[in-house]
């Protein structure tokens, strides 16, 4: 079975002490994850070692960085490289989150470089794709997402690509008051898998974990994760509430 992943993206939230308490509260629930189920905590850079220490005795609990720079090293003050993350034994890194694309103008070409650097340093990228509201309203979301995948991912070999986790974000349904249905989520996840199949073949495409990143909450996770092509979620606000994220973890297939 494909890996089913509950990925918490804390974004720029919580003090060190609040983050430590949140992890303590989640771990206190003592949820035993089977080998195909992973809980991943994408925490701010200053908290990586704390989070790693919190989960390192747990089975199938991992830490992720929220970003890395697209160059290997150099005079890039304030940036963090994949090599640095690897030296801290951080196994996951989010690449190309919609907020990074929008606010920091990250391009598909830059994200291609980030993918290469993560894979070179044995870090599993969680690669984000998805369309904003004007694209969805124009009905061109498939072409938009296909281009994101082609320009960032398709230079990889099948063996390399299989190491990447995909996260589909319907940006138009995040904080806009609009809601994406589970049927819409499944439709886009199936489309993403079909694009991967066109490049790598259906067998390889069937091995990709594709997460849903559109306002996953405790009360909709079970319905969303039941979709055949939805392999978990990239969770924002609900990941900051221990009781909510615990329920989301329990909802994994």
Domain count, the chain: 1
What pLDDT was estimated at residue 1? 86
Range of the domain at 230: 4-250
At 94 the pLDDT is 98
Residue pair 126/235 in contact by the 8 Å Cβ criterion: no
Q: Is 169 known to be catalytic? A: yes
User: Looking at 26-123, which runs of residues are DSSP E strands?
Assistant: 37-43, 61-65, 92-95
CATH of the domain at 50: 3.20.20.70
Query: Pick the catalytic residue: 54, 99, 131, 169?
Result: 169
Which one of 38, 97, 121, 189 is the catalytic residue? 97
Q: Is there a catalytic annotation at residue 97?
A: yes
Q: What is the pTM of this model?
A: 0.97
Give the mean pLDDT per block of 10 residues along the chain (253 residues). 97 98 98 97 98 97 98 98 98 98 97 98 98 94 98 98 97 76 95 98 97 93 97 96 98 97
Determine the distance from the C-alpha atom of residue 171 to the mean position of all C-alpha atoms in its chain, rounded to a whole number.
14
The residue ranges of DSSP E strands in the chain, in sequence order, are 4-9, 37-43, 61-65, 92-95, 124-129, 165-168, 210-212, 232-235
d(CA 223, CA 130): 20
C-alpha span between 186 and 165 (Å, rounded): 16
């Amino acid at each position: 079975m494909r890996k089913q992943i509950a990925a918490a993206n804390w974004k720029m939230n919580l003090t060190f002490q609040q983050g430590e308490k949140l992890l303590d509260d989640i771990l206190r629930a003592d949820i035993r994850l089977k080998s195909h189920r992973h809980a991943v905590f994408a925490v701010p850079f200053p908290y990586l070692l704390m989070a790693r220490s919190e989960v390192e005795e747990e089975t199938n609990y991992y830490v992720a960085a929220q970003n890395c720079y697209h160059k290997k090293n150099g005079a890039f003050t304030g940036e963090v490289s994949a090599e640095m993350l690897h030296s801290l034994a951080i196994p996951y890194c989010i690449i190309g989150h919609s907020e990074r694309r929008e606010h920091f103008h990250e391009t598909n070409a830059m994200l291609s470089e980030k993918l290469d650097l993560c894979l070179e340093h044995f870090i599993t990228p969680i690669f984000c794709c998805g369309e904003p509201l004007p694209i969805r309203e124009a009905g061109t979301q498939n072409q938009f997402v296909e281009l994101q995948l082609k320009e960032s991912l398709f230079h990889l070999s099948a063996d390399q690509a299989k190491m990447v986790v995909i996260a589909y974000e319907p940006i138009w349904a995040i904080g806009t008051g609009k809601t994406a249905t589970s049927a819409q989520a499944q439709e886009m996840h199936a489309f993403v898998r079909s694009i991967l199949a066109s490049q790598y073949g259906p067998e390889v495409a069937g091995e990709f974990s594709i997460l849903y990143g559109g306002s996953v909450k405790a009360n909709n996770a079970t319905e969303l994760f039941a979709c055949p092509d939805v392999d978990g979620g990239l969770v924002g606000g609900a990941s900051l509430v221990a009781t909510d994220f615990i329920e989301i973890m329990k909802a994994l297939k």
